Amino acid sequence: MRSAGAVLFLACLLLYSLTAAPSVATIFDDSLEFQVVLPTLGIAHPSGYPLYTLLGKAFTLLPFRDPAGRVNLLSALCAAGAVGLLYEVGRRMAGNRPAAAMAAAAFAFSAAWWSQATIAEVYALHGLLVALFLYLLLRWEEAISPSLLRNGADRWLALAAFVAGLGLAHHRMIALLLPAALVFVFWTDRSLFRAPRRWLRPLACGLTPLLLYLYLPIRGQAVGSLDAAFRPTLAGVLDWVTAAGYSVFLTGNPFEVSRDAEFFYRLFQGQLGGAILAAAGLGLLTAWRFGLRRYALLLLATAGQVAFGVAYKVQDVEVFFTPAFMLAAFWAALGLTVVLDSGAAWLASLGGQLRLPPRTRPWIMAGWILLAAALVLAQPVAAAVRDFDRLNRSRAWGVYDHGQDMLAHVAAGGQVVGLLGETTLLRYFRDVLGQRPDVTTTPADAEPSRLAAVDAGLAAGRSVYLTRVLPGAAARYSLDAAGPLIAVSPKAQPAPPAAGQMFGPGIVLVDAVAEVRRVHAGPVVRVTLVMAAAGPVAEELKVSARLLNAAGERIAQADAAPVHFAYPTPAWVPGETVEDVYDLALPPDAPSGSYGLLVILYRAADGAEVGRVQLPAVVVPDRR
């Protein structure tokens, strides 16, 4: 890689690494799954991603960050490498370093690409393999000449085939490049038609990486997928590798998404900027002058990627367009070359007419390049600055803290029942970090399955917890807040009301405790209320917990129906005691010191207050 490509690689590696998530940062997406599967050498969702699994496992052996953070750094490295190779491919296609650097920089700042560079996901590695595949094809083309032996040149072709095989062992979208690559290869060297033996080496190199898929049946004998759907049989492995279940997004439209041409134009314009998009259009119109073979390669590759993205009816479609964004950057490099060369020729002519000294011409050309770069990169850089807080995941500790909070409130030998993403978060701490091996997790996305899991857990004498509201649970069980979880127990029997302060109609406040919790985002005041039903409660009541400063001003507030909206007051049994929890996060600029606490009970129907209690003040220590 030339010096400019190396500079781009190092700059992007620094940027992406510094903004990468420090650990687990999402719940309901594939990133969290990979952060559990890779360190434990598990089975990822279809198509299995064996290459990414093994590379990710190697990265978890790094001596810094936790395993999830290390896998995030793999994405940063791959994304930075892809940008460096994008420059190199653009330079070889356009023959103009500044144009290639501008196009690569615009792509590096695109929100979709940056977002994939900071979390554990497959798209950064996929982009790296796409760029490397195109780079090796160009190196092979350059090596084909009468002065070189075909066998020497064919080493580049074999390497390109090997990278294509690695791509197929990672993400199937690289197959969209193969028709364009085959046209390019046989057009470049027509003697291949007459020498089928020369196909053997590239074919062998391309097929060998597919042996990585043997990981699935071999490892699948010992472990399963997180959703327990993988079967290590021949039929099960073939179904997994082909990802047959995802074909519905091509043949149908399960999410009922509707996208027109304007949507896709705005998608490209929003990612790369109007100037880069205009340059790509100019490149599309003029790039045939750089060579018809290369023009055909880019055109067919772009057509395949765009056609797939348009046809694939998923909600997060922008990540599937990242290879298309990369190809648009190649077109932009060609278009920018036309602009830069035309401007340079005009300035040289003007300098001659004005009889400027020759020593001034390099400075004029440098000024012209800097001006063009400023105009081309203005929108991508401005968008990156505007969205930096969203793209910067370096302080994204919220999911990590939430997982630790859940785990801390599970009794010994307890069982947590929830959606797959929520239980996967707990599995990260249990299976990867080795915390609380006594905890059982039961993923169940369907509500009847969750009810059945709760019944089975209670019947076995376990302490059972829910991660979220479960319809029907309030009528069947007694519920309490256990930190962020919902503790489930057999339905209470009527009993005399507990002693305490009358809080509202039919509600007794038995106890109230406030504590300051330390999380990465800053202090959080947790208010735990213990309430009891003095009798049947006909109205649905809600609680408002408020944090007040010294002037009595409200600086934080949390409103909810009891037990995280899971246990409405009409479901309470007379005499039943219910524990409830509310978290009040201090604003970032709130100073340390004493804060008042006010808890209000009000009707859900009209918001009318029916009771209030002032709790003892809580002292928030210094944030440092």
Residue boundaries of the structural domains of the chain = 3-239+267-388, 397-491, 495-624
| Cα 72 → chain centroid | 10
What is the SS3 assignment for 441?
strand
> Residue 508 pairs with which residues in a beta bridge?
502, 532
Q: Is residue 85 within 8 Å of residue 128, measured between CB atoms?
A: yes
User: Which residues have a Cβ under 8 Å from the Cβ of 615 and sit 6 or more positions away?
Assistant: 512, 514, 527, 596, 597, 598, 599
Average pLDDT, the chain: 93
User: Which pLDDT value is given to residue 448?
Assistant: 95
Residue type, 148: L
Own/partner contacts of 348-357, CB < 8 Å, gap of 24 or more, are none
Q: Is residue 34 within 8 Å of residue 71, measured between CB atoms?
A: yes
Dmax (CA) of the chain: 103
Fold of 495-624: Immunoglobulin-like (2.60.40)
User: Which residues have a Cβ under 8 Å from the Cβ of 175 and sit 6 or more positions away?
Assistant: 167, 168
The helix (run of H) or strand (run of E) holding residue 440 is: strand 440-443
Between 151 and 621, the more confident residue is 621
Q: Please say if the pLDDT value at position 149 is more than 60.
A: no
At residue 53, what are phi and psi to the nearest 5 degrees?
Answer: -60, -45
Q: Can you tell me the distance from the alpha carbon of 171 to that of 129, in angstroms, rounded to the nearest whole number?
A: 10
Q: Which of 480, 465, 466, 468 is nearest to 562 (CA)?
A: 480
* Tens-place pLDDT, residues 359-379: 777 888 888 889 989 999 999
User: Which pLDDT value is given to residue 433?
Assistant: 97
* Tens-place pLDDT, residues 84-121: 999 999 999 998 999 999 999 999 999 999 999 999 99
User: Which pLDDT value is given to residue 14?
Assistant: 98
Return the percentage of the chain with pLDDT > 70, whole number: 98
Return the percentage of the chain with pLDDT > 90, whole number: 80
pTM, two decimals, is 0.93
User: pLDDT confidence of 1, banded at 50, 70, 90?
Assistant: very low
Q: Please say if the pLDDT value at position 305 is more than 60.
A: yes
What is the SS3 assignment for 511?
strand
Give the mean model confidence (pLDDT) for residues 453-457: 96
Fold of 397-491: D-Maltodextrin-Binding Protein; domain 2 (3.40.190)
Q: Are strands 507-519 and 522-533 parallel, antiparallel or unpaired?
A: antiparallel
User: pLDDT confidence of 329, banded at 50, 70, 90?
Assistant: very high
Residue 36 is given by DSSP the state H
